[in-house]
Every structure is written in C-alpha cells, then in structure tokens.
C-alpha cells in the first residue's frame, strides 16, 4: 500500500495555478454545506452569512441587481446544483497542490501512512491554510469526536470506520504526532484537528525542506551518546535480543516497531537509546515532552527512522 501510494503522489505532483489549487477546497466546502447541512447557517432568509464565501463557491454576486428579492429556497437549490456540478466534474480530478502532494509522499516513505490517513492529513493542512474552506467548515458548528468522524467521512468520501481508525489513539497520525484529535471538548473541525507545531501546516504546504524541519519545535536530532554498549552489561541478555531485532526491522524497512525502556530516573534509559542508535549506525531523533502547562522537559520518546 505505501509503495503504491508513494508512486501515486509522485506521479500526480505537477504545477498548479491558483484557480486549480482551489478546486478541491471548493468541492469539500460544497459537501459540507450540502451533505452535512451547513447551508442552514450559510443561507439565511435575507442573504448569505458570508458574501465572499458565496462568491468562492460560484454564486454570481456581481451581476445581482440591487433590488433583487432574495429567495432562500431558490438559493439552496442553486447551492445543490453547484455541488452536483462539482461532484460530476471534480470528484475524481481535483488534487492537492503539487508541493503538498510531494511532501506527503515523503511522509509515506518515512512513516508509512495509508490512503485514508493521507486524505485526512491533506484536509487538515488545507483547512488551516485555505480561508474559504475554514469559513465553510465553521457553518457546521462545534463538533464532538463522533460528529467529526461523520463530517470527515462525508467531506472526504471515506468510510466512517476508516476515518475513526485513522484518528484513534493507536493510529499512525496520533502515534507520530502529526495530527491529534481533541476528544475532550467540542470545537469547529479546524480546532479538533491539531498539529504538533504552530507552523507545521504552512511548512508542509510550502517548504521543500527535510521533514524534520517541519517538526523542529518538537523533534530534534539527538546528541551523541556519552556511554558505550559495554556500560550496559547488566542488561546484556535483553540487549542480545533487542539489537538483532532492531537491526532486522531497519533492514526490512518495518514501521511501527516500538520498544519500551523503563526504569527509575537517572538510570540511563535515554543514553541506552543513543548507544543503540550508534551501534546500529542510524539517526536518532528526540521527541520533546511537555507537561500540562506546555513546559518542555526531557525527551518522551526517541525515534529511529526506518
């Protein structure tokens, strides 16, 4: 799956005009307003809640006479017509901007995202960067987690069970920190989908830097080990199993391999991870830990790229 996805993203990365790059957000916005009932907040008895959003969706506001008598039912019917036309013309052709597609392809190689996770990531990035898409999603109001799953299922045309699996606590998006879903409060969908850093969504959309740069606030290259494997003779039996296991996982390109190292503070857990990285001749990254007040502490995890 990952190899095919990576090939698809590479093959479909090309130059976009501004008009082309708005096609997919427009389709998503129309789905939210029509399929999910967002039109109830968008189209009022006497007009639109947001005229600029109406223009983005395709309503001809410039040629509307000043004495025009607004017809709410007729306007809703026009909105449904715009949605039907977009589904017919764009559902299988509208794509994300080329650099975003390229960068998501790099993430597929790095952490093994599946097709559903890629679509959710695309949507989350664009809703944080496309003003009119954000405005349309606000018409859905504050959502619970279950409502968020339903909304994403309709907007992205994905099975709801795949959406909920992709966003649960054991999913790749959550475990890698790319996207976390706030399960504790009801928020508009943009706020429900949280990124690891403030600049992540704009960087993945516009930067060709190494992916580690997109996460510079939470992920950083680890410092060199200060100990050696000989300092861990007391856990030699465990290491005799762990070292070949990690070496085989790296050689075969396996993803999602997790090892828990536990012990009292100051017993050398972080140093052991660094020693293992040195022994295996691989890069090691530290994922910063934060307390409830957002204060960074010692690394919560260390990551060996596959």
Q: What is the mean pLDDT of residues 233-243?
A: 89
Q: Do residue 83 and residue 128 come from a single domain? A: no
Residue 102 lies in a domain: no
Q: What is the mean pLDDT of residues 41-57?
A: 94
Q: Do residue 120 and residue 209 come from a single domain? A: yes
Q: Do residue 205 and residue 132 come from a single domain? A: yes
pLDDT exceeds cutoff 60 at 98: yes
Banded pLDDT at 77 (limits 50, 70, 90): very high
Residue at a domain's end among 214, 236, 267: 214
Rg of the chain taking only CA atoms, in angstroms: 23
Residue 108 lies in a domain: no
Banded pLDDT at 216 (limits 50, 70, 90): low
Banded pLDDT at 28 (limits 50, 70, 90): very high
pLDDT exceeds cutoff 90 at 40: yes
Q: Do residue 160 and residue 229 come from a single domain? A: no
Residue at a domain's end among 73, 90, 107: 90
Average pLDDT, the chain: 82
Question: Higher-confidence residue: 200 or 35?
Answer: 35
Identify the top-confidence range among 17-26, 129-138, 182-191, 204-213: 129-138
Residue 9 lies in a domain: yes
Q: Containing domain of residue 151, as a range?
A: 115-214
Number of domains in the chain: 3
Residue 105 lies in a domain: no
Query: What percentage of the chain carries pLDDT values higher than 90?
Result: 37
Banded pLDDT at 57 (limits 50, 70, 90): very high
Residue 20 lies in a domain: yes
Neighbours of 258 (CB within 10 A): 6
Q: Do residue 229 and residue 201 come from a single domain? A: no
Select from 27, 44, 152 the least CA-distant residue to 92.
Answer: 27
Residue 95 lies in a domain: no
Residue at a domain's end among 189, 214, 239: 214
Q: Do residue 242 and residue 226 come from a single domain? A: yes
What are the start-end ranges of the H helices in the chain? Answer: 2-11, 18-21, 23-35, 39-42, 51-57, 72-90, 98-111, 115-127, 131-138, 145-156, 160-166, 172-175, 189-192, 200-206, 211-214, 236-252, 269-280
């Amino acid at each position: 799956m990952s190899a095919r996805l990576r090939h698809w993203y590479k093959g479909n990365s090309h130059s976009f005009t501004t008009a082309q790059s708005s096609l997919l957000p427009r389709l998503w916005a129309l789905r939210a307003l029509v399929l999910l009932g967002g039109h109830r907040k968008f189209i009022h008895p006497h007009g639109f809640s947001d005229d600029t959003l109406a223009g983005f969706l395709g309503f001809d506001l410039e040629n509307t006479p000043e004495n025009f008598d607004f017809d709410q039912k007729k306007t809703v019917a026009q909105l449904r017509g715009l949605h039907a036309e977009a589904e017919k013309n764009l559902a299988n052709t509208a794509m994300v901007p080329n650099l975003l597609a390229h960068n998501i392809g790099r993430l597929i190689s790095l952490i093994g995202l599946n097709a559903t996770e890629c679509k959710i990531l695309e949507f989350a990035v664009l809703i944080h960067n496309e003003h009119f898409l954000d405005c349309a999603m606000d018409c859905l109001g504050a959502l619970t987690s279950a409502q968020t799953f339903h909304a994403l299922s309709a907007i992205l045309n994905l099975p709801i069970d795949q959406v909920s699996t992709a966003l649960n606590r054991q999913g790749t998006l959550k475990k890698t920190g790319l996207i976390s879903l706030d399960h504790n409060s009801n928020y508009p969908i943009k706020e429900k989908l949280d990124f690891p850093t403030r600049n992540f969504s704009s960087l993945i959309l516009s930067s060709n830097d190494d992916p580690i740069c997109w996460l510079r606030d939470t992920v950083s290259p680890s410092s060199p080990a200060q100990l050696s494997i000989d300092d861990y003779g007391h856990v030699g039996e465990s290491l005799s199993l762990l070292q070949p296991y990690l070496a085989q996982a790296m050689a075969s390109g396996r993803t999602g391999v997790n090892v828990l190292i536990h012990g009292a503070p100051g017993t050398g857990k972080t140093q052991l991870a660094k020693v293992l990285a040195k022994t295996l001749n691989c890069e090691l990254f530290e994922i910063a830990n934060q307390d409830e007040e957002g204060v960074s502490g010692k690394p919560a995890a260390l990551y060996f790229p596959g």
